[in-house]
Structure 1
């Protein structure tokens, strides 16, 4: 494969473990994920499914009691998992940057925005004050904020402006990949859309790739190229965003979509998913979604499904397994599932 054809980010079998008093608990379990150059990949799922933990594992920002349990994170041909802090330092922020979930918590509340930008640039070898000021003004302009706010403290900015200021900081060195951990979670729907449009415009202009973590399926429907759905620490569906939205292959993906209102088509009642995700320390046998799944049958409680190719997506569901078909009495259920996803 030519270097230009290789994915920018290639996550292979990534596992993240939390060491607890009662033993290790796996929060992210053998995740595979690729991000191409200039691509927008979204990661969705309920709270507690491992999205943010996976993100921190990819960026090598884990702190104890969390640790990498296995796998590789290959970014620009280098395995980040095998690198120490000194080797990671030139990669972070210059080639890969992170926008945290809460800008108010991520930004230093007692330092002006400009001073925080200066600290970031100095940490990567830029010492000239005029150059720092010029670049800081440039990135603020990119996100639509007046340069006067370099003198502002974070609390003097609105929630949307703080998030844009964080995105501007992530763009100081024009990285190839920006990882975003629910950057819109604290914003109202109008501010969310405005920020998403800003991100897409910047991506179009600068050509960076985005790995975007959120719990809101509807938020990424028009912005992401591919969609990864996580449940209980594992990937349950991954594929083209439109393919997942138009014909969700996994019952969990379908349940998430039914829990959000559509802005098109006839008015339909919202349907929540009964129950809650399992505790990480007590995962059910077989399929982890089986206790909540309306389409589960006997094998689902004993056989752990692999990721199966279903048209244009991958889905972790025994309904698509060639070796574990539903019994005859359940085939009508499987048939209904197939009709629902076509």
Structure 2
């Protein structure tokens, strides 16, 4: 067979491609840069975790991807390509056509996201009818409730009649009505106890394996995604601080901020070690400092950090925004403790 006989094959395009996404909030004193040129790709069936302190831009990033931002927030740059279509340039009608059917969102507080004066079943029915699904609505509603481990009898319940865990499962069931390709989850376990958190995470992972959808999961708890996500983004000051394979980031964190987050959570294995916090506060996004945004809190700060804003450097297939890993510095070395 000659080279001419071999069919040309292109690499499959990612399910989601975010390029240089920038989101700003308009304030009385100027704009606040909440998301600063964030970019990543997500493949079908992949689980991406996004972690960081409150105010680092996690939820704003998700709302920017799902096109759910409202004034004073707005996208000022970049693109969000979902299955080859740029969501940023879509009309409201086009976005409504793909929401729930191809892309769904699970909000942080199910009690606030669900309509308090409608039963769970009636809210499922509204979603299905909005997408012209008029047949077997009751059957489909029961199916998704069973998928998330909730007795379908609760389709007749109001949100306040369910426990916190059951409300979150009902929200996930609603997100699965059309078996979308991507589910975006904004801290869905934040209001649950530790036992309920793990139970819900195990359920989410099992559903992902069974149905094959991709997940973007936002949380401030790094330990929560350690056993469930495939890739991990650590955000700080509206930027990606570190991005790579989850196990690699946990085993050898290369950014001082990633190490600080890990040191703030107890380990259930190994010797007892004191928990350490990160001194100081995140930067004011409306008045960002020059240089590295973590410099004022960093235990490994160098003189150049306060003047030079670091790029994302590739260190053994992990992207790290830190001058410690710039060419000519301590590349491929672990961040000093």
Instruction: Give the shorter-chain TM-score range.
Output: over 0.9
C-alpha offsets along residues 117-154 of structure 1, whole Å, 9 cap, x if unaligned? Answer: 001111111223xx111100000000011111000000
Any conservation in 2 of the 1:243–1:312 contact (CA below 8 Å)? no
Any conservation in 1 of the 2:121–2:156 contact (CA below 8 Å)? yes
C-alpha offsets along residues 77-101 of structure 1, whole Å, 9 cap, x if unaligned? Answer: 0010010111111111100000000
Any conservation in 2 of the 1:247–1:341 contact (CA below 8 Å)? no
C-alpha offsets along residues 16-37 of structure 1, whole Å, 9 cap, x if unaligned? Answer: 1111222222110000111110
- Residues 226 and 315 from structure 1, CA distance in 2 versus in 1: closer, same or farther, beyond 3 angstroms? same
**Aligned counterpart in structure 1 of residue 60 of structure 2, from 53, 66, 85:** 53
C-alpha offsets along residues 205-227 of structure 1, whole Å, 9 cap, x if unaligned? Answer: 00000000000000000000000
Distance 2:270 2:311 in 1: 34
- Residues 13 and 340 from structure 1, CA distance in 2 versus in 1: closer, same or farther, beyond 3 angstroms? closer
- Residues 12 and 322 from structure 1, CA distance in 2 versus in 1: closer, same or farther, beyond 3 angstroms? same
What is the number of residues matched between the two proteins? Answer: 330
Any conservation in 1 of the 2:253–2:334 contact (CA below 8 Å)? no
* Structure 1 unaligned regions, length at least 5: 326-333
Residue 65 of structure 1 pairs with residue 60 of structure 2: no
**Aligned counterpart in structure 1 of residue 313 of structure 2, from 300, 303, 308:** 308
Aligned twin of 1:246: 251
Instruction: Tell me how far 1:3 sits from its aligned partner.
Output: 6.9
Any conservation in 1 of the 2:87–2:95 contact (CA below 8 Å)? yes
**Aligned counterpart in structure 2 of residue 236 of structure 1, from 229, 241, 244:** 241
Residue 89 of structure 1 pairs with residue 96 of structure 2: yes
C-alpha offsets along residues 48-105 of structure 1, whole Å, 9 cap, x if unaligned? Answer: 0000000000000001111101000000000100101111111111000000000000
Any conservation in 2 of the 1:99–1:170 contact (CA below 8 Å)? yes
What pairs with 1:157-168 in structure 2 (closer than 5 Å)? 157-168=162-173
Distance 2:138 2:40 in 1: 37
Instruction: Tell me how far 1:4 sits from its aligned partner.
Output: 6.7
Residue 171 of structure 1 pairs with residue 211 of structure 2: no
Aligned twin of 2:145: 140
Aligned twin of 1:331: none
- Residues 315 and 173 from structure 1, CA distance in 2 versus in 1: closer, same or farther, beyond 3 angstroms? same
Aligned twin of 1:77: 84
- Residues 265 and 147 from structure 1, CA distance in 2 versus in 1: closer, same or farther, beyond 3 angstroms? same
Aligned twin of 2:333: 338
Aligned twin of 2:294: 289
Aligned twin of 2:275: 270
**Aligned counterpart in structure 2 of residue 106 of structure 1, from 97, 101, 113:** 113
* Structure 2 unaligned regions, length at least 5: 1-7
Q: Secondary structure at the match of 1:294?
A: coil
Aligned twin of 2:3: none
Q: Secondary structure at the match of 1:338?
A: coil
- Residues 113 and 2 from structure 1, CA distance in 2 versus in 1: closer, same or farther, beyond 3 angstroms? farther
Distance 1:259 1:209 in 2: 29
Any conservation in 2 of the 1:44–1:229 contact (CA below 8 Å)? yes
Aligned twin of 2:28: 21
- Residues 197 and 287 from structure 1, CA distance in 2 versus in 1: closer, same or farther, beyond 3 angstroms? same
Distance 2:203 2:11 in 1: 27
Instruction: Tell me how far 1:173 sits from its aligned partner.
Output: 0.3
Aligned twin of 2:5: none
TM-score under structure 2 normalisation? 0.95
Instruction: Tell me how far 1:312 sits from its aligned partner.
Output: 2.6
